[in-house]
């Protein structure tokens, strides 16, 4: 039996599925050509592989292959979407709407655009992590050019009402972007039915390789204009220059193909594991579920714990499990999670948080071990704190 901690951090990243790795391997050595080299068989092999993944991703979201632009990941895709839309539509308006609980790869580009004169409206969320659609409606302005709302939150797993938001944007001829890095392969996505105009994707959250992502950019009804942020060679319809990383692209396609084939059964299994974990943990008093109880990713359980120190909690869990706390560390400055404080949590409660990301390779036995260990750790820390306070 492995002595390594049980991995429950699948919102941070996932291990590459062996089936994905097997699909990738030939493109490192045997079929190593550049897909832009169209004069010989090596290039043709690579080009065909890239084309196949475009078709897989397009089918997964009800798009066309030509609407799939490959990037180095979701962070680049988000930057290309936000900055590319802002630059292309600058003459029409300088107002952008997003949400307080978005990933930093959305909030930071918006912060940058603010220095260039754009106006950014950051919507709050309700205590369950969902946005208020009435507040969104009130935020629209004649000069609003873009709304960006993530499909599934990376920390609390909340699923926003994407179809409703898309319809509201379409009615007003406003471009709608969604960061679907955590959603692809886990929930149904349909860019036509949901009126999504531009969408960011990544592979490594769905058992594919790191370093590869994609951006869906609508070509018609309406045709979305996008100013490139990386120049040189005119690859990807001129939107993102650079030699395509064929092995990673192949892995991306295979990962999504597997995830879609297993989506229904895996969603049911992960929901059962999550509910089992929550049922056991919620026996303790002072345990708060972060985010909507049901409108969330199947494998996500985010909790905050009263009566413990956040750092001590994180340290106490480490020997048994690999999980993320609710805090974020940036530039060597530790701060409480802005996502959790947006829900109305105090700084202390936001610090003392755990994000369980249950994944494909976790078992019911592991969940029971984790639950028992977490309960014992919390009880021990609370007891120590009580003794200290009595002195």
pLDDT, tens digit, 9 for 90 and up, residues 365-377: 999 999 999 999 9
The answer on 203 and 333 residing in a single domain is: no
Identify the DSSP state of 149. -
Kind of pairing between the strands at 321-322 and 353-357: unpaired
The answer on 277 and 252 residing in a single domain is: no
The answer on 268 and 251 residing in a single domain is: no
Mean pLDDT of the chain: 94
The answer on 240 and 186 residing in a single domain is: yes
Contact 235, 287 (CB under 8 A): no
Which of 176, 213, 223, 231 lies closest to 198, judged by CA?
A: 176
The answer on 386 and 248 residing in a single domain is: no
Kind of pairing between the strands at 175-179 and 144-148: parallel
The answer on 267 and 247 residing in a single domain is: no
CB atoms closer than 10 angstroms to residue 231: 10
The answer on 234 and 267 residing in a single domain is: no
Which range marks the domain in which residue 67 is found? Answer: 18-257
Q: Which of 10, 110, 169, 329 is catalytic?
A: 329
The answer on 252 and 272 residing in a single domain is: no
Contact 185, 263 (CB under 8 A): yes
- The whole-number average pLDDT for the span 181-207 is 98
Token duo for residue 257: 């193909």
Phi then psi for residue 41, to 5 deg, are -65, -35
- Lowest mean pLDDT, pick from 297-301, 332-336, 341-345: 332-336
* CA-CA-CA-CA torsion sign (255, 322, 105, 152): positive
The answer on 149 and 131 residing in a single domain is: yes
Residues 28-45 pLDDT 10s: 999 999 998 989 999 999
Residue 1 lies in a domain: no
Q: Half-sphere exposure of 261 toward its Cβ, with a 13 Å CA cutoff? A: 7
Buried b (16+ CB within 10 A) or exposed e, 20-44: bbebbeebeeebebebeeeeeeeee
CA distances to 66, 109, 201, 320 from 152, in Å = 25, 19, 12, 27
**At 330, is the pLDDT very low, low, confident or very high (cuts 50, 70, 90)?**
very low
The answer on 269 and 197 residing in a single domain is: no
| Domain-terminating residue out of 210, 236, 257 | 257
Number of domains making up the chain: 2
**At 334, is the pLDDT very low, low, confident or very high (cuts 50, 70, 90)?**
low
Is 329 noted as a catalytic residue in this protein? yes
| Domain-terminating residue out of 257, 275, 293 | 257
354 pLDDT higher than 80: yes
CATH value at residue 140: 3.40.640.10
Contact 281, 287 (CB under 8 A): yes
């Amino acid at each position: 039996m492995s002595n390594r901690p049980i991995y429950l951090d699948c919102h941070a990243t996932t291990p590459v599925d062996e089936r994905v790795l097997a699909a990738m391997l030939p493109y490192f050595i045997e079929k190593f050509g550049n897909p832009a080299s169209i004069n010989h068989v090596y290039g043709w092999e690579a080009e065909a592989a890239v084309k196949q993944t475009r078709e897989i991703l397009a089918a997964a979201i009800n798009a066309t292959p030509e609407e799939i632009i490959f990037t180095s990941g979701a962070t680049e895709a988000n930057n290309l979407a936000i900055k590319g839309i802002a630059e292309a539509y600058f003459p029409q308006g300088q107002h952008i709407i997003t949400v307080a609980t978005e990933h930093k790869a959305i909030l930071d580009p918006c912060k940058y655009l603010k220095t260039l004169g754009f106006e950014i409206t950051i919507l709050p969320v309700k205590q369950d992590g969902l946005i208020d659609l009435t507040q969104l409606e009130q935020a629209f302005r004649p000069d609003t050019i873009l709304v960006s709302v993530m499909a599934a939150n990376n920390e609390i797993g909340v699923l926003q009402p994407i179809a409703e938001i898309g319809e509201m944007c379409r009615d007003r001829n406003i471009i709608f972007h969604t960061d679907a890095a955590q959603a692809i392969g886990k929930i149904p996505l349909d860019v036509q039915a949901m009126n999504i105009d531009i969408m960011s994707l990544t592979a490594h959250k769905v058992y594919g390789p790191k370093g590869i992502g994609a951006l869906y950019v609508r070509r018609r009804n309406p045709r979305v204009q996008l100013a490139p942020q990386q120049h040189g060679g005119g690859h990807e319809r001129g939107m993102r220059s650079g030699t395509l990383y064929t092995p990673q692209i192949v892995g991306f396609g295979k990962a999504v193909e597997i995830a879609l084939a297993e989506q229904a059964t895996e969603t049911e299994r992960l929901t059962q594991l999550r509910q089992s974990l929550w049922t056991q943990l919620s026996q303790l008093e002072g345990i708060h579920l972060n985010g909507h109880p049901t409108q969330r990713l199947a494998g996500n359980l985010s909790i905050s714990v009263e009566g413990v120190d956040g750092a001590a909690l994180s340290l106490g869990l480490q020997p048994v499990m690999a999980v993320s706390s609710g805090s974020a560390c940036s530039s060597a400055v530790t701060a409480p999670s802005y996502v959790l404080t947006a829900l109305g949590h105090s700084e202390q409660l936001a610090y003392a948080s755990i994000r369980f990301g249950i994944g494909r390779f976790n078992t019911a036995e592991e969940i029971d071990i984790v639950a028992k260990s977490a309960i014992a750790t919390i009880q021990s820390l609370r007891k120590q704190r009580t003794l200290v306070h009595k002195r």
